[in-house]
Chain A
């Protein structure tokens, strides 16, 4: 079974600074997807970014970017120019291609200091 590990329960960042969240996963598949979801205090789960394993180029969405290291099975999220609205729980998730199920990590809480 696939496992997803987020080793940082909580990270703190100063407003306008950069923070990087770690995620590692375990799989024997070669084709899969990785995601980062954000959960603000409203509890709504929001898709932040998506990476396909067969693409070597790292995904980027505005101030959010990933560092995908397939051989190391690592998928970190970088939040640049942090804003107060970035304060939330962030979940890393793995999905096997055409498998239609996601496995989530335990989450990292991001605190943004003004």
Chain B
């Protein structure tokens, strides 16, 4: 199994509070991704990173920011959480290039009340 951990695994927070989710990898892969999973929508890309300090937006980036100061860590921040951000969040990693496949962390269930 790819060495990917996410923390916390579960979190309940109130509307308007800031939340940071952490993804940590031990594979030294260049690419890291944050997805959210909601019923009927599969996984949707929030942000991704193609190197330290290099990030780009995905299809559902509004309300989220990311940072990557080290190869192994990719942080997802909700500056002011809203109920619509209640979801399961997955981190993924990839070697990139012509490899294609991504490997996923265990997920974080976030509930915004």
Residues of A participating in the B interface, judged by any CB pair closer than 8 Å: 1, 4, 6, 33, 35, 37, 43-45, 47, 50, 52, 91, 95, 97-98, 100-107
Contacts and interface: CB of A to CB of B under 8 A. Distances in A.
Interface in B11-70: 31, 33, 40-45, 48, 50, 58-59
In the A-B complex, the 8 residue pairs with the closest CB atoms: A45-B104, A104-B42, A33-B100, A104-B43, A106-B42, A100-B96, A43-B107, A95-B100
Contacts of B79: none
B42 A105 contact: yes
Contacts of A47: 101, 103
Interface of B: 31, 33, 40-45, 48, 50, 58-59, 88, 90, 92, 94, 96-98, 100-104, 106-107
Given A35-B100, A45-B92, 5 more contacts: A1-B59, A52-B100, A100-B50, A102-B102, A106-B40
Residue in B45, B97, B100, B107 whose Cβ sees the most chain A Cβ within 10 Å: B100
A95 B45 CA distance: 12
